[in-house]
Amino acid sequence: MKTVLTLCAALALMTGVATASSSVTLGGSFFRTFKRPSTDTIRCPQSVDGNECGVIEFAGLGPADYVYKYGPTFEPNDQMGCFDIDGTFSITLRSDGSSVSGPLTGVWCKPGRSGDRKGGLDSYGNPFSESDTIAFADGNGQFAGLRGTADFQQSSAGAAWHGQLSGSLTS
């Protein structure tokens, strides 16, 4: 009987440790090269409510699918070729389906005065840079009860597209 109680207590402790986390560090990146001619894209499948989809590789957490849905804000600011933007951003870990999302605000820039011009999405070129802050909250799984901010930066020039997401979530 004593062995059974000891085993149950150990199991309860292990379960508590596995599910209760007071913080998670987010540190991840992605890099994609688009080849022509190709159907390779960052666009989301029709079944996903978003404008950009991809995979971020997080240190310690592994790969996560991300969905970035553009908001209505796309307003010129005081920087040449730059616009204030908003949207929502979510990540879902491929390992266990844990997910977290939040509103995004930031700045999107094209060089010079080209930011208000519509380039061909399927052409090479169209360089841009983007620097955002995401206020993550309302997660589940490993992210349950956690909230915090993360910096998201991405840029593209020619056929190369890369980005980084870093921050921390705490209870």
Mean pLDDT by 10 residues, the chain (171 residues): 43 40 93 70 87 96 97 93 96 98 96 57 71 96 97 89 96 94
pLDDT at 4: 41
Q: Is position 160 within any domain?
A: yes
Q: Is position 13 within any domain?
A: no
Q: Is position 143 within any domain?
A: yes
Burial environment of residue 24 by CB neighbours within 10 A (0 to 12, 13 to 18, 19 or more): buried
Q: Is position 27 within any domain?
A: no
**Planar angle of CA 149, 19, 147, nearest 5 degrees:** 15
* 127 Rama class: left (phi>0) / alpha (psi -120 to 50) / beta: beta
pLDDT at 17: 36
Q: Is position 24 within any domain?
A: no
Residue 148 is part of which domain span?
A: 32-170
pLDDT at 123: 53
Coarse DSSP helix, strand, coil percentages of the chain, rounded to the nearest 5 percent: 15, 50, 35
Q: Is position 2 within any domain?
A: no
**Burial annotation 43-61 (CB, 10 A radius, 16+ → b, else e):** ebeeeeebebbbebebeeb
Q: Is position 22 within any domain?
A: no
Q: Is position 17 within any domain?
A: no
Picking from 96, 42, 93, the residue whose alpha carbon sits closest to that of residue 64 is: 93
Number of domains the chain contains? 1
pTM over 0.85: no
